[in-house]
Structure 1
């Protein structure tokens, strides 16, 4: 059976790919630095996109990166309009993704608990 992919998921995936390319090649803001886009959630009417990201330096660089990404959001949206064929290009909201750091902390706690027994 073929997998059921909704159009919203496909659009979110394409937005993530295009944004990653744009951030890497077009944005020269030093505040952004090395970031990884971990996911994109697009609303059903395509008006908003929540873009999740992580930074190489962890929480310390996350605040600076968020400021840079918010400042570049309009530019990124206009560039997306030229790359994605949608009637409505979503407004971008950048959110720091803490799930990786939480996973590392949980892994350390598990390792400590297993090591003590």
Structure 2
């Protein structure tokens, strides 16, 4: 399948999942969620949705549980909104890149402070 088509499907899924989480999911456990990336397999049968979760450990745990329980609803909605021959099987992955960048920034600040002394 063409790489351009896969990229378009990834972007469409990212936009729609973000919109559904923000506006339509009514689960009170869902906190601050950002969809950072979507990876779709070459045959468009599987989609990994990378999310960044913010909050305390308990809030992150509750949000993760709520997202996992909403996978069926999200897949059905994606199937209705994006016309594909078969709707991809969705799975969530936690995106740690934000935590990693904060850690790197802290290390750089520490090095800069040590050089100033």
Q: Secondary structure at the match of 1:31?
A: coil
Q: Which residue of 2 aligns with 1:19?
A: 17
Q: Matched residues in 2 for 1:60 and 1:7: separation?
A: 39
Q: Which residue of 2 aligns with 1:116?
A: 114
Q: Matched residues in 1 for 2:58 and 2:109: separation?
A: 25
Q: Which residue of 2 aligns with 1:38?
A: 36
Cα distance, 1:60 vs structure 2: 4.4
CA contact (8 A) 2:31 2:60 kept: no
**Per-residue Cα deviation, 1:17-49 (whole angstroms, up to 9, x for no partner):** 001111111101122222110010000111111
Q: Which residue of 1 aligns with 2:60?
A: 62
After TM superposition, list the pairs within 5 Å mapping 1:65-84 onto structure 2. 65-84=63-82
**Per-residue Cα deviation, 1:68-95 (whole angstroms, up to 9, x for no partner):** 1110000011011110011111111111
State the superposition RMSD in angstroms. Answer: 1.6
Match of 1:52 among 46, 50, 53: 50
CA contact (8 A) 2:31 2:55 kept: no
Cα distance, 1:56 vs structure 2: 2.4
Q: Matched residues in 2 for 1:58 and 1:101: separation?
A: 13
Q: Which 10-residue stretch deviates more, 66-75 or 50-59? A: 50-59
Q: Which residue of 2 aligns with 1:28?
A: 26
The runs of 5 or more residues in structure 1 that have no matched partner are none
Q: Which residue of 1 aligns with 2:103?
A: 105
Count of residue pairs the alignment pairs up: 114
The runs of 5 or more residues in structure 2 that have no matched partner are none
CA contact (8 A) 1:51 1:94 kept: yes
